[in-house]
Amino acid sequence: MRRSGLDAGVGVRDSKAPHGGHPTLTPQAWAILIVQVQSGRYDR
């Protein structure tokens, strides 16, 4: 996953599938996502 800071939020893309979707998250949503990833919420 790669991120890019934008005026309107944080652009995110899958670096292994760069032609897929490119969602933009608000800074608050980005921070929540980071906390969830770090806590293991998305571990399989």
The number of folded domains in the chain is 1
Per residue in 9-42, pLDDT tens? 888 888 888 888 888 888 889 889 999 999 999 9
Question: Contact 1/15 with Cβ under 8 angstroms?
Answer: yes
The pLDDT of residue 40 is: 96
Distances (CA, A) of 16 to 5, 32, 35, 37: 19, 23, 22, 18
The pLDDT of residue 41 is: 96
44 in a domain, yes or no? Answer: no
19 in a domain, yes or no? Answer: yes
The pLDDT of residue 5 is: 59
**What is the model's pTM?**
0.64
The pLDDT of 1-6, averaged and rounded, is: 58
Asked whether the predicted pLDDT for residue 2 surpasses 60, the reply is no
Q: What is the domain extent for residue 27?
A: 2-38
43 in a domain, yes or no? Answer: no
